[in-house]
């Protein structure tokens, strides 16, 4: 499974670099992103509840392949931290999940026509994430850490799937440079852990990017 994943990453990276180098390929834009995320966990395990938002971070490459003037297939290669926490109602024990993924989303981007260098867009599609690191902090009744940075990688699912919806705006900052900002909701629908019961992680991203 991991060999297949590495092959996908290499193929995607090669495609992005090759497309960017083609002067005749006018329908492609390459960009960089770095922005905060705010993650949370939904639980269907009896006696275990989600316990609010936790901040994370994402950064990486973005690629938009325009197949029409206002429509694009949008993907990326990002390293994303999705944090969240749960609380056991019987013991008040809090578990903080610190999960890091390589994300390769596949979305459709719908844009308005550009007016005075400004255009708006909406996005919808599938998120594909592959876990590369998983740590956990545990807090007791006093809210003091009982354990910190416990390695739980073997207990976390390697693949995470999600539905992505987002909206924002792009502004022309030069002949080819564009700045983008907006909000993205990444709604996880697969179990993030192995074993009985289900925990699903989601996050809201404050999207910031620059396209070249």
Domains and CATH numbers, the chain: 2-211 (2.40.160.20)
Q: What is the pTM of this model?
A: 0.85
Average pLDDT, the chain: 88
- Cα distance between residue 77 and residue 72, in whole Å: 17
Does residue 23 or residue 108 have the better pLDDT?
A: 108
What is the Cα–Cα distance from 177 to 31, expressed in whole angstroms? 9
Tokens of 107: 């979305």
pLDDT tens digits for 147-200? Answer: 899 999 999 999 999 999 999 999 999 888 999 999 999 999 999 998 888 999
Cβ 157 vs Cβ 192: under 8 Å? yes
Across the strands, what pairs with 97?
84, 136
pLDDT of 11 strictly over 60: no
From 122, 101, 132, select the one nearest 203 (Cα to Cα). 101
83 contacts: CB under 8 Å, gap ≥ 6:
37, 39, 54, 55, 56, 96, 97, 98, 99
């Amino acid at each position: 499974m991991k060999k297949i994943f590495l092959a996908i990453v290499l193929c995607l990276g090669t495609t992005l670099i090759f497309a960017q180098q083609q002067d005749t390929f006018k329908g492609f834009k390459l960009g960089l992103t770095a922005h905060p995320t705010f993650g949370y966990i939904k639980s269907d395990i009896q006696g275990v509840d989600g316990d609010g938002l936790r901040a994370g971070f994402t950064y990486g490459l973005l690629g938009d392949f325009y197949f029409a003037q206002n429509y694009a297939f949008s993907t990326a290669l990002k390293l994303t931290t999705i944090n969240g926490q749960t609380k056991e109602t019987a013991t008040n024990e809090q578990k903080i999940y610190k999960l890091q993924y390589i994300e390769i989303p596949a979305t459709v981007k719908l844009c308005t026509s550009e007016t005075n260098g400004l255009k708006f867009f909406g996005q919808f599609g599938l998120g594909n994430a592959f876990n590369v690191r998983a740590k956990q902090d545990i807090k007791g009744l006093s809210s003091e850490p009982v354990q910190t940075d416990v390695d739980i990688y073997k207990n976390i699912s390697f693949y995470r799937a999600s539905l992505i919806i987002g909206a924002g705006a792009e502004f022309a900052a030069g002949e080819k440079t564009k700045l983008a900002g907006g909000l993205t909701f990444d709604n996880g629908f697969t179990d993030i852990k192995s074993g009985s019961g289900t925990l699903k992680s989601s996050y809201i991203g404050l999207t910031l990017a620059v396209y070249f």
